Structure 1
Amino acid sequence: MMSRPVTRGTLAALSAIVLGTTACTIPFGDASAEDTRQPAYFVDEFDGPARPLRGAWIAETGGGGWGNNEAQVYSDSTDNVRIDGAGHLAITARRVGDTITSARLTTQGRFSMTYGRVEARISLPAGAGLHPAFWMLGDGIDRVGWPEAGEIDIIETINQATEYHTGIHAPQTSSRRGQTVSASGRPPSALPGTFHTYWMEKSPGRIETGIDDTTVFTATPADLAADSRWVFDSPFHLLFTLAVGGNWPGDPETAALPATMLVDSVRVSRS
């Protein structure tokens, strides 16, 4: 999921930001006392009444193809992104006349992590022209651009979502688009319309991603070309996008809209 660098104005002061050697976070919730996993320092379960998006997430807006010739215009309207009142974050792509609108959410400037485990429980949509993704960008994206900042794709699917796609994008001297190291395949069970946990674990010199209890991808500096650079031992922030059309899924004219990506929870914990 290549990103067009986005320049944002100064964010409102965030008194809850905590600076540390391995993370910059807003503690967003508490892990359950019955949870035996490593205690989380960021939890969002999207509970409560139906309402507009708020908290750690920023809805980025605009069109312009986003580096992939995508068709959608990203919006912050509740028609495209909202808490649905049933415990989910809902991201919806719609067609209004000749315009396709959707949503792109980021925690840039509000939450990032260097090492640990990120997981989200997501129900992915399926249909012609759709490209949902849960991914991460290096915090230096506005300063150094893409792919210099690095990208981690935790989960992407296209069209009918019959395969998963996951991987990393690293800067490479010989390529303007950097080096892609990735994995794709058929999941053990169907992905569309069913909640699965998509996760990423990041430790010094190592990235792993998985679906539910299965690891599907591992990368280390040894997987990079000689002229590529490992930039992943630095803070990265989270993104959700539901793109339509573009270089990968293809013609948006036949896109199955409206389509909704549901996120039940997001959790980040230290390894």
Structure 2
Amino acid sequence: MSAIALSALVPILGVPPAQGAPRLVPVASAAVSEEFNGAAGAAPDPSVWTYDVGGGGWGNDEKQVYTNDRSNSRLDGQGRLVIEARRSGNTYTSARLTTRGKFAFTTGLIEARIATPRGTGLHPAFWLLGTDIATVGYPASGEIDIMEFVNDGASWHTALHGPTTTGGHWQKTMAGEFAGQSDDFHVYGVYRSRGMIAMLIDGKVISVYTPATLPANGRWVFDKPMYVLLNLAVGGRWPGPVSPATDFPARMTVDWVRYHP
């Protein structure tokens, strides 16, 4: 990712100490950005992005095999990243891109402008995992789901995943009706400060998580570096089976990713 100055103010979430209620305050620039510039058909910048590859369900009994092939992820030549899920008979391929080992952040705002596909069995996502996952494992690494849509995209979903005090797994989810069309471009973001995580769509706060929102035996493990993931999953327990009527190839298009510390 490279430094960039934005010509317009961008919203960043602040929390006044006295009230503890979210409000928006402006900043003038993104410290780090990925604009996906490059030739059509090229791979995204390898200094920023790597790939999770393989199949086997990925924890949700998903049906796709993730690849690093250009048929599943590529630049479109117009400043966008395309993540494409493809179907061949009963076989599905897609891509899961990450900044693991390349870029991570602990506090501040990260946003991505994304258009997501709709169709029964599709599951696009923009999310974070703790950089310590290789040493502490999952769910102790923590997971922050900034944006998830399933099937017809009629509702937004955000979530946290973490460990319990007894070594188990907890999940806290928030969801709401999505008045816009999920296959239009929208800006999805998360603002992280110590003891608080807020999710945004188009600059508006849609959900806020704090240690007080966790289950009684849940551990808060989110005040540490986390890296970015972008993927388009197919099938699994959530969203459910793929419909024969679902159009393939299905494309998740990412216009940019920007970080404001």
TM over 0.5: yes
Contact 2:187 2:201 (C-alpha < 8 Å) held by counterparts: yes
* Match status 1:45 vs 2:35: yes
The two structures, once aligned, show a CA RMSD in angstroms of 1.6
Check whether the contact 2:75–2:82 (CA below 8 A) recurs between aligned residues: yes
Aligned positions of 1:58-207 closer than 5 A: 58-174=50-166, 176=168, 178-191=169-182, 193-207=183-197
Contact kept in structure 1, 2:62 and 2:236, CA below 8 Å: yes
In the TM superposition, what whole-angstrom CA distance separates every residue of 1:70-119 from its partner, at most 9, and x where no partner exists?
A: 00000111100000112110000001233200000100100000000000
Letter in 1 for 2:79: G
The alpha-carbon deviation at position 203 of structure 1 amounts to 0.3
2:255 to 242, 248, 264: 264
Partner Cα separation in structure 1 for residue 2 and residue 88 of structure 2: 35
Amino acid at match of 1:78: R
Gaps of 5+ in 2: 11-26
Identity %: 45
Residue in 2 aligned with 1:245?
235
- Greater mean deviation of Cα atoms: 231-240 or 178-187: 178-187
Q: Distance in 1 between matches of 2:208 and 2:152?
A: 25
Structure 2: distance between partners of 1:188 and 1:131: 18
Work out the CA distance in 2 between the residues paired with 1:33 and 1:128: 39
Letter in 1 for 2:37: D
In structure 1, C-alpha distance between the alignment counterparts of 2:206 and 2:184, rounded to whole Å:
18
Q: Which amino acid aligns with 1:217?
A: S
Separation in 1, partners of 2:190, 2:93: 28
- Note if 1:214 corresponds to 2:188: no
The number of equivalent residue pairs is: 242
Alpha-carbon distance in 2 for matches of 1:47, 1:260: 18
**Offset of 1:49 from its aligned partner?**
1.8
Partner of 2:18: none
What letter corresponds to residue 132 of structure 1 in structure 2?
P
The 8 Å contact of residues 31 and 43 in structure 1, kept in 2 or not, is answered as: no
Q: Give 1:258's aligned amino acid.
A: P
Q: Compute the TM-score of the two structures, normalised by the length of structure 2.
A: 0.88
Cα distance in 2 between the residues matched to 1:127 and 1:174: 38
How many Å separate the matches in 1 of 2:212 and 2:77?
45
Q: Secondary structure at the match of 2:58?
A: helix
Q: 2:6 aligns with which of 27, 32, 43?
A: 32
- Which SS does the other structure have where 1:165 is aligned? strand
CA contact (8 A) 1:147 1:170 kept: yes
Q: What is the distance in 2 between the residues matched to 1:171 and 1:121?
A: 30
CA distance in 2, matches of 1:223, 1:157: 22
Give the superposition deviation at 1:33: 4.9
Does the 8 Å CA contact 2:36/2:44 hold for their aligned counterparts?
no
CA contact (8 A) 1:167 1:217 kept: no
Task: Tell me the TM-score normalised to structure 1 length.
Answer: 0.85
Asked whether the 8 Å contact 2:5–2:30 carries over to 1, the reply is yes
SS in structure 2 of the partner of residue 66 of structure 1:
coil
